[in-house]
Structures are given as C-alpha cells and as structure tokens.
Amino acid sequence: MSDRLIIFDTTLRDGEQAPGFSMRVDEKVRLALQLERLGVDVIEAGFPIASEDDAEAVRQVARSVSRPVVAALARCSAGDIDKAAEALSGARRRRIHTFIATSDLHLQHKLRMTRETCLELAVDAVRRARNTTDDVEFSAEDATRSDIDFLCRVVEHAIDAGATTINLPDTVGYSMPDEIASFFRTVIERVPNSDKAIFSAHCHDDLGLAVANTMAAIGAGVRQVECTINGIGERAGNASLEEIVMITHVRPDLVPVRSDVVTTELYRSSQLLTELTGQAVQVNKAIVGRNAFAHEAGIHQDGMLKDRRTYEIMRPEDVGVPASTLVLGKHSGRHAVQKACERLGLSFARRDLDEVYKRMIALADRQKTITDDDLKAIADAVMAGQRATAS
C-alpha cells in the first residue's frame, strides 16, 4: 500500500460553516493561495448550491490556484452536481465531492427515504459527476453509525459508478480510535472493488478524538485525510491539519506515511486564518497555539537552556514559529532570569541576581507574567540599591 498521504483541506467549506468563521470571497482566495503554498493536495472551496456567494468563491479559487485539486461539494442531486461542475469549470484540476447520508437515523428522520432510494441516488450522482470530471469523491454521511452491510453495498456501487475516492466520515465525532480502525479495515476488506478507490477519513472532534481517530484510520489503510487549519469546523470542529502533519513528521516510526505539506508554512497559515476570521487560536493549541513552544516552569526552562530536546519534541522553526520562548513568571528559575537579563545586556553578581530574582517572583505573584520592561525596572532598582550602598 502506498505511503503517500493525501491532504484534503476543507477549511474553506466545512471550516467556514462554523459560527463566527465565515469569509468573504476575496478572503477565501487569500487563504486558498496560502493553502497552495502550504502544499495541500485538495482544497474544498465550497458548496456551490448553497448560495451564489459560495458558488462564486469556488469559481474564484478554481481560477486562482494551479497545483492543488479544487473540490466542490454537492448533494446527490442533479442540480447540485451541475452547479458544482459549472463553478469548477475554470479549475486546472477539479473534483466533484458528492454525498448522501447512509445511516438509518439520517435516512428515516432527516431524508425520509429508503435504503434503496439512497443507493439509487448515490449511483446516479456519481455517474453524473463522472461525466464532468474523472476525479469524483463519494461520501457516506454518518458512515460510522451506518449498518455495515448496507454501507459496504453503497460503497461498492459508488466505485462501480466511477467514484475514485470514498470518504467515510465520523460525522458527529462519535467513534473511538479502535472502532475507527476496525471500521475501515472491515469496509476495505469486504468491498470487492475497494482497490479501485482511495479511502478517506473525515473525523469530527465532538469527543476530542478527531486527530486520534484520523491517525487510527491511517493505520487501517486510509490514504486521504480531510482536515482544517486550526481544526475549525462544525460544532467542536474537524481534525487539525497541523497536528496530523506534525504527527507524521515526529513519529514516522509509528506512522510511516508522507505528505507534501511544507511544515514551515503551518504557523503562517494558522495566523492568516485568525486574521481573516477574527477568531483567536486557543493558547494551548498544539503546534500553533501561543504556548505551544513557551516555557515558564523553572525545571523546564533549565532543561531547555541546556538542551532543547529535554522538553521539545519538534523545533518551533520547523512549523514556522520564530523561536521558543522562556516566559518569566512565578514558576521561573534563576537560570532563566539570568538568561533574560543577559539578553537585555544586563549582568549581575550572584548576590544581585538573587535580588533581581526575588523581586521578579514577588511581582509575578501580582501580575502573572513579567515583560522585558518589568525586568529592566527591577534591574534598575537593584542597581540603584548597589550604588546607594557603595556611597
């Protein structure tokens, strides 16, 4: 099985659907160009039938990028497929991504249709899409809660109809990693023509397991992952692109797959999304959060100053973060205070450094963190005390 991992970015579609994350057409184009620099394989640019604005965004993205495949989402209906095909007409490389729910819960209570109707619509949609492009993805919405026999039947027929990628989403983030692995292995083994398609995972984070489930799916044979910058998306979000990519870089011994993502563009991509949406990244977010490479505890700071590998499993510059930071606060140690003083051009004898340290800790108890200006003020006060004592 190929070790090539296809990165399908849906920040502009599923991510943008999240409350507070909507973007204008020009903003989507800006982000799409950054995603191209980042090196993603597929950019899902929107859901054209949803609105004319969404259709225009797909058109503009399709004309603006050249290397990635541009995908447009479409329900299993003729109108959706045709609208998606029209919006993608200017793309150098295009994909129609058509979907229908396959779980009985969705079929009975949302779509109000039978399994047979679902199967018929799926096959018709894939065939119609295949008339406009050789690259067709079929998604079985709520796949992980679907009857496995029926799901395998739908997948087999979708591949026969021309689907080249089969996406089996954990739409509501319900599954556990062991379940996901077993689920994909079962489908791939039971569908007789599974070797004719690439299988894809699209995991949501309702239980905080989107990335873990995605990694489990890769281990079970999935070779496309659907993800978003900063993990944004419906409800609790999607699997985070930056986390998936860096797991493959840091743990190739356990995840022997490769992607074409330029990791040094990860932080820049995260920051651009934040700028465009006005939605900040949580400070402790893995890879791109403000604290991802920040250290305050004295033991950690001492280890970092001696050998960064003691407390960092990746280099900040590998993901585009300028440098690690040693944050001065009430947990900091003398070694970090000394290095901060040296960085500011300040040098003290041990006794005076101890005094600087004690005053810094006292101030940190009141205001949590210490800035360079705070440290300079403390240093000035200690040096003034030196002069007064000497005179």
The domain made up of 6-277 has a fold known as TIM Barrel (3.20.20)
**Partners of 226 in the beta sheet?**
8, 202
The residues, ordered by sequence, that sit 6+ positions from 218 with a Cβ below 8 Å of its Cβ are 5, 201, 225, 255, 257
What is the SS3 assignment for 326? strand
The pTM of the full predicted model, rounded to 2 decimals, is 0.92
Tokens of 71: 């995908």
What's the rounded Cα separation, in Å, for the pair 188 and 202?
Answer: 16
pLDDT tens per residue, range 126-155: 999 999 999 999 999 999 999 999 999 999
pLDDT score recorded for residue 254:
95
Where b means 16+ CB within 10 Å and e means fewer, 270-286 reads: bbbbeebbeeebeeebe
Report whether 215 contacts 183 (CB < 8 A): no
pLDDT score recorded for residue 141:
98
pLDDT score recorded for residue 347:
87
pLDDT score recorded for residue 348:
87
Q: Please give the full DSSP string across 336-359, using - where no structure is assigned.
A: HHHHHHHHTT----HHHHHHHHHH
Residue stretches of the chain with pLDDT short of 70: 1-2, 386-391
- Strands 328-329 and 369-370 come out as antiparallel
Domain limits, CATH 3.20.20.70, in the chain: 6-277
Q: Please give the full DSSP string across 229-291, using - where no structure is assigned.
A: GGG--STT-B-BHHHHHHHHHH-TTT---B----GGGHHHHHHHHHHHH--PPPTT-TTTSTT
